[in-house]
Amino acid sequence: MSTETRDVVALARGWIGTPYRHQCSTRQAGTDCLGLIRGIWRELHGREPTAVPGYSADWGEPQREERLWRAAADHLRPAPDGRVLPGDVLLFRMRDGAVAKHLGIAAELRGMPTVIHAYSGHGVTETPLTNPWARRIVARFRFPDEVK
């Protein structure tokens, strides 16, 4: 079954309410935005594609390295050009000139676009994908159909 037909959004919604915990990826116990993607990956594929090294809250910033973007490009498929679709993995740049370092899952609620993501002080939540969020999207990906 392709990951387009799997319900990535339903998996992501299963994480809603999980508290924010830096570097964690355990549903209902704690996760950060990367941990949310890692957890969904495990639910889809049974294991992670690679070990994730420890990282600080500012990882990649001092060196100006797009580490998260590079890792996403290495393990996920690029989403086709066009509009954001439910199930897309979204990569955000939170400030102009900063490295991209926030992830979420595109979803839809009552016909309106949303994003399911984990962030400090909020845990995993589903929020409207408003213009302030949408303009921060720098890349979109999809989970692969299968892993080697």
Closest CA to 106 of 56, 143, 148: 143
Q: Which two tokens stand for residue 137?
A: 């999207």
Average pLDDT over residues 126-133: 97
pLDDT in tens, 101-112: 899 999 999 999
Length of the chain counted residue by residue: 148
C-alpha distances in angstroms, 13 versus 4, 29, 40, 85, 112? Answer: 16, 15, 10, 16, 16
Q: pTM to 2 decimals?
A: 0.91
pLDDT in tens, 10-42: 999 999 999 999 999 999 999 999 999 999 999
Q: How confident is the model at residue 95 (pLDDT cuts 50, 70, 90)?
A: confident
What 3-state class would DSSP assign to 57? Answer: coil
- In terms of CATH, what superfamily is 8-142? endopeptidase domain like (from Nostoc punctiforme) (3.90.1720.10)
User: Residue 126, Cβ neighbours under 10 Å: how many?
Assistant: 19
pLDDT number for residue 30: 97
C-alpha distances in angstroms, 87 versus 79, 94, 99, 137? Answer: 10, 21, 23, 15
